[in-house]
């Protein structure tokens, strides 16, 4: 920085190079560009949180006050953990970037309504402390913290994490006469038992779109999740390639392997549609797989990432032991993101004709 003379207003002699100096003025130096677009990291986080609000509201409608309680506990312990660890290790406080709030909220939406509050605390602490801050905090974590927290809880408290109760306005599975399981475990059991009834499952599709079925509090309402997805696409926060390729892959794979033996009638579309709407696929594809930190940076890589998630989800749901496969699919794909990024490096401008 250099001092330059400041002109007095009384000195209007334009012809002088060094006008009367009566006080010093400092000019700021910085390299270009000198303007920036206004959107910053906290705003992005706030928009994602806002986009999750329809799903949160639907969870309150269908599962009542416990979903509010679980969300508050989860968000509170996530933010508290981040604050405490920053404080303890004397690092700058990072809770104001809202990423911990988002992690807590996403995690809460993955809980069944019956989950004891202390389990929610354990999940949040694990997500923030071990999956995020242990690797360097925002931007350095290699797996999605909320999903890691959920995977940890599913492994540690399998009973509590799958104890689904019926929502207020519907049966637990959306299929009358069947109870005690989520829509996904229902279809899986039906296939395993060989008594798959297309009529029954197609009538369940409406319940699945609205969300009055059993399941994690935030994953049941397809409409609410799609609304959130539209907000994120409109604000250009998520890249539509990831959810499209993810959901599309799941849909196509289940369509190709549908039980009806035919591919061009409406019955053949029931199973794939059911699989798209049921379980955590929409929540995962729109809000978890699109997590910027843990998804590829190149456009081509994002499509590969989405397809990979879809193939894994299909494999787990179709052949695996779990009815649900979204969590592990995304977590596994998170791990190979650096590899995807390396192999989907875009061709730079002028590379076609690069001379030796």
Asked if 50 is part of the footprint of another protein (rule: CB under 8 A), the reply reads: no
Nearest alpha carbon to residue 5 among 27, 21, 26, 29: 21
Residue that the structure tokens 């979903």 belong to: 67
Nearer to another protein, 206 or 342 (CB): 342
Asked if 31 is part of the footprint of another protein (rule: CB under 8 A), the reply reads: yes
Asked if 82 is part of the footprint of another protein (rule: CB under 8 A), the reply reads: no
Nearer to another protein, 37 or 199 (CB): 37
Q: Output phi, psi for 26, to 5 deg.
A: -100, 135
Nearest alpha carbon to residue 40 among 98, 104, 103: 98
Asked if 4 is part of the footprint of another protein (rule: CB under 8 A), the reply reads: yes
The contact pattern for another protein, residues 162-201, with x = CB under 8 A and - = no contact, is ----------------------------------------
The DSSP 8-state label assigned to residue 21 in this structure reads P
Asked if 17 is part of the footprint of another protein (rule: CB under 8 A), the reply reads: yes
Helix segments in the chain, DSSP class H: 41-63, 65-88, 99-108, 117-125, 145-156, 158-161, 183-193, 198-210, 222-234, 241-256, 270-277, 281-283, 299-319, 326-335, 337-343
Judged by CB under 8 A, which stretch of 29-37, 60-68, 188-196, 267-275 contacts another protein? 29-37
Asked if 69 is part of the footprint of another protein (rule: CB under 8 A), the reply reads: no
Asked if 134 is part of the footprint of another protein (rule: CB under 8 A), the reply reads: no
Judged by CB under 8 A, which stretch of 124-132, 170-178, 269-277, 295-303 contacts another protein? 295-303
Binding residue for another protein (CB under 8 A) from 10, 34, 195, 262?
Answer: 34
The enclosing H or E element of 3 equals strand 3-5
Token output for 183: 């829509």
Residues 301-340 that bind another protein (CB under 8 A): 302
Rounded least distance, CB 127 to another protein, Å = 17
Asked if 91 is part of the footprint of another protein (rule: CB under 8 A), the reply reads: no
Residues 334-353 that bind another protein (CB under 8 A): 341, 345-353
Are 254 and 149 in contact, with CB atoms under 8 Å apart? Answer: no
CB atoms within 10 A of CB 21: 14
Asked if 24 is part of the footprint of another protein (rule: CB under 8 A), the reply reads: no
Asked if 32 is part of the footprint of another protein (rule: CB under 8 A), the reply reads: yes
Q: Output phi, psi for 231, to 5 deg.
A: -60, -45
CB atoms within 10 A of CB 125: 18
Binding site for another protein (CB under 8 A): 1-2, 4, 6-7, 12, 14-19, 25, 27-37, 39-41, 43-44, 97, 136-140, 239, 292-299, 302, 341, 345-355
């Amino acid at each position: 920085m250099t001092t330059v003379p400041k002109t007095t207003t009384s000195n209007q002699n334009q012809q002088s190079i060094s006008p009367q100096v009566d006080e010093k003025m400092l000019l700021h130096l910085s390299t270009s560009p000198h303007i920036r677009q206004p959107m910053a990291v906290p705003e992005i986080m706030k928009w994602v949180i806002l986009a999750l609000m329809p799903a949160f509201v639907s969870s309150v409608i269908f599962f009542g006050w416990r979903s509010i309680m679980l969300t508050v506990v989860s968000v509170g312990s996530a933010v508290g953990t981040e604050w405490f660890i920053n404080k303890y290790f004397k690092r700058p406080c990072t809770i104001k970037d809202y990423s911990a709030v988002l992690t807590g909220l996403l995690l809460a939406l993955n809980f069944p309504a019956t989950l004891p509050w202390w389990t929610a605390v354990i999940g949040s602490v694990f997500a923030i402390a071990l999956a995020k801050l242990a690797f360097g905090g925002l931007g350095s974590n290699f797996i999605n913290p909320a999903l890691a927290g959920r995977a940890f809880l599913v492994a540690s408290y399998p009973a509590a994490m799958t104890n689904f109760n019926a929502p207020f306005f519907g049966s637990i599975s959306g299929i009358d006469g069947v109870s005690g399981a989520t829509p996904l475990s229902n279809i899986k059991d039906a296939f395993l038992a060989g008594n798959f009834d297309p009529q029954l499952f197609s009538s369940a599709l409406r319940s699945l779109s609205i969300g009055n079925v059993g399941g994690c509090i935030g994953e049941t309402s397809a409409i609410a999740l799609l609304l959130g997805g539209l907000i994120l696409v409109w604000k250009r926060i998520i890249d539509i390639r990831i959810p499209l390729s993810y959901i599309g892959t799941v849909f196509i794979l289940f369509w190709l392997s549908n039980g009806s033996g035919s591919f061009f009638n409406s019955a053949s579309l029931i199973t794939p549609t059911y699989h798209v709407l049921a379980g955590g696929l929409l929540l995962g594809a729109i809000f978890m797989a699109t997590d910027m930190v843990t998804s590829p940076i190149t456009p081509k890589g994002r499509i590969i990432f989405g397809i990979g998630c879809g193939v894994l989800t299909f494999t787990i749901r179709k052949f695996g032991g779990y009815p649900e496969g979204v969590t592990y699919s995304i977590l596994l794909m998170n791990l190979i993101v650096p590899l995807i990024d390396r192999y989907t490096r875009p061709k730079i401008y002028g590379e076609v004709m690069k001379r030796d």
